[in-house]
Structure 1
Amino acid sequence: MTVPSAPDADAGTRTGAREEPTVVPTAVGDLRAVVRTPAAAPGPLPGVVLVDGSGDGDVDGWGGWPTWVADAGAVVLRHDKPGCGGSPGRWTDQTLEDRAHESLAALRVLRAHAGTAGRPVGLYGVSQGGWVAMLAAAIAPDEVGFVVCHSGPGTTPARQERYRVATALRAAGHDDATVAAGLAWLDRRTALLRDGVPVDDVLAEQARHAGAPWAGPVLDGYDDPAVLGFVAGVLDVDPADVLPRLRCPVLALLGGADPVVPVPESVRAFAEHLPPDPRHGLAVLPGADHGLFLSGPVPGVPRRDQLAPAYLPTLTAFLVDRRAG
């Protein structure tokens, strides 16, 4: 669950593209939002609501993704999370189902935009946003035109986080005993949260492990009571229960070198639990990381040029099919 809020990216602009401020009405108030229409749009296009990953997130934190997704052939809406970017509320008070309803509210705003007239409007979920997008499509199957899961796990958040921590500990060079010790506390913390133990008590017990050699990957990001409370409420959302309820086309994009998501397990989940539909797409991009890049930022190299080569053509083809449909 401690995964990037949005993949690292440069902003990128295209001359002639238009950005318009708007708001997404929610139970906590209006969230600041921006709609991007690509340059020289040939009539109405499919609409895409970007659904952020974990942690803070606002309309200014998406880097180049609104440009790239719009250039692939969509009108794109992005919005603040509650409590971010000057918008009201607190995202740590939400469940993933709350986030799904928020995403549906954003989808309705984008559907009313002239640039999407008569075209399907869907959800593009990044990382944690993949769970959110799937939930939204299951809650409102008649409203969500399609779903794109960008490094969205096919496992529960608890299972995904255990994979991430184990991978990080091994990458840091820890031996098997140290990895096992770190995972033992992770499992203990998960059990305490599932049992409803107050987060302050969990944090007090966790503090005793602060000096452990495995502490960094296991404890970083989990020292805030509000964040820990959020985590307690999302541990066991299971795509195996959600995917069979989806009625829209789904494009699942995973990175072959993703250290955060258990990719083979996620591929199996999408393949086994999505209802059969020839409009679905599933791709593992060789060498790509969690952001679907082939490397970290390199000075002087546009971030767009570091995307996995198949990413933009695959997304573009999927959106062309949605426009035709």
Structure 2
Amino acid sequence: MKALAWASAVLLAVLAGVFLIFQGLQDFDLSEYESRPIVFSFDGYSVTGTLHLPQAKSPQPENPALVLLVHGDGPADRYSGGGYLPLISSLLDSGMAVFSWDKPGVGESDGNWLSFAMEDRARLAATALATAREQPELQASPTGVLGFSQAGWVLPILAEDPAQGDFFVIVGGAVNWLHQSGYYTRRRLELAGASSTTIDKALAQTAKDEERFLDRDFSYQDYLDSGMDKVPMPEDRFTFASRNAAADSTTALARISAPVLTMHGADDLNVDPGFNSGVYRKSLKDRNPANRFVILPGATHALLRAEAFNYQLEGQMPDWSKALFTVLGRRAYAPGALDTITTWISAQAVPARDRPTSSDRSN
């Protein structure tokens, strides 16, 4: 009998594991939802993305909320190499439409994203949003933007214009480019086991080096001659860094009236969660009663579970961690991450006539 009970327990555990694996893999399959390619023109280049609608069968929900995804740094395609898929699945399951595109020069899009300043990225996002709003199902939909990391400098520019969105979600955003660079360097050295003296010296040198990027006369040849990087960045990456080194969203934040949700992982290795969440709170707390500023325990820069996925660069993630992400799907996110995002967006994404007034909110 004991052997039978043990075998039954093992079988149940195996079945449960298979079910969880299957459930996780489903989050990477969007075939049950209606999708359509969308191509639009930006600065003379062709940009291609995909719109996903929340149901596969017609008719679609009336005026589903539209969520525009804005990439962080790097040569990201419309799904960020598959990393967006569990998030997109979660948004679709919550009745929202989702639109994302290949960055210029990536996938099916022309151009070169490294030629962009943050203002250019904001114009691109505005063009993408206007294009998506032309779809028949979305012409009367509430619309908003969800951006990651570097998009923290894009969304505030976009949100200064109230017509650009009904809600904005910033995940892992930083307010000041140079401050973020210093934090990243500190955490990188700490992870490498450097002493406090070594870290302090490195940060002082990094600050001097970064300040040079603010000088318009600092050329690529000057950069190469300086020897500030053991492995020099390519010229187009240097140009990108030079154009954006002065990025600071403080002024734009003070002009935003639309609802904003900011989310940071408490274990973020790339962006200082306490500092930046504090700046967002100071700048936005009185701008809209719906604003929220969340620091999620046990979460990474991308709001994943820190115990399994906390690396500064995607290339540092070992194969076992990548495999685990595929197995877990949306469960790879820290507890509460996706629920917070979808619940908050749902609360904002209602037709204007149905939105609570200030007096309603006080009751």
TM-score (norm 1): 0.87
Write 1 or 2 for the structure with the bigger share of helix: 2
Identity %: 26
1:232 counterpart = 2:262: no
Give 1:1-325 correspondences, 5 Å limit: 12-14=28-30, 16-39=32-55, 42-63=61-82, 64=85, 65-138=87-160, 140-153=161-174, 155-196=175-216, 197-206=218-227, 210=230, 223-274=233-284, 275-294=286-305, 295-296=308-309, 297=321, 299=323, 301-324=327-350, 325=355
Gaps of 5+ in 1: 1-8, 211-218
Deviations 1:31-52, CA, capped at 9 Å, x for gaps:
0111011236533211111100
Deviates most, 157-166 or 68-77: 68-77
Q: Which amino acid aligns with 1:250?
A: V
SS at match of 2:49: strand
Change (3 A) 1:252 1:72: farther
Gaps of 5+ in 2: 1-23, 310-320, 356-363
- CA offset at residue 60 of structure 1? 4.2
- CA offset at residue 234 of structure 1? 1.1
1:158 and 1:236 in contact (8 A); partners too: yes
The structure whose Rg is larger is 2
TM-score (norm 2): 0.78
Deviations 1:223-266, CA, capped at 9 Å, x for gaps:
11211111111122222111111121111111010011111111
- CA offset at residue 311 of structure 1? 1.2
Q: Distance in 2 between matches of 1:87 and 1:323?
A: 30
- List structure 1 runs of 4+ shifted beyond 4 angstroms: none
Q: Distance in 1 between matches of 2:173 and 2:95?
A: 21
- Which residue in 2 is equivalent to 1:4? none
1:20 and 1:36 in contact (8 A); partners too: yes
Q: Which amino acid aligns with 1:258?
A: D
Q: CA RMSD in A?
A: 2.0
Q: Which amino acid aligns with 1:283?
A: V
SS at match of 1:49: strand
- CA offset at residue 111 of structure 1? 1.4
- Which residue in 2 is equivalent to 1:215? none
1:258 and 1:288 in contact (8 A); partners too: yes
Deviations 1:49-79, CA, capped at 9 Å, x for gaps:
1100112111242521332333333211111
SS at match of 2:39: strand
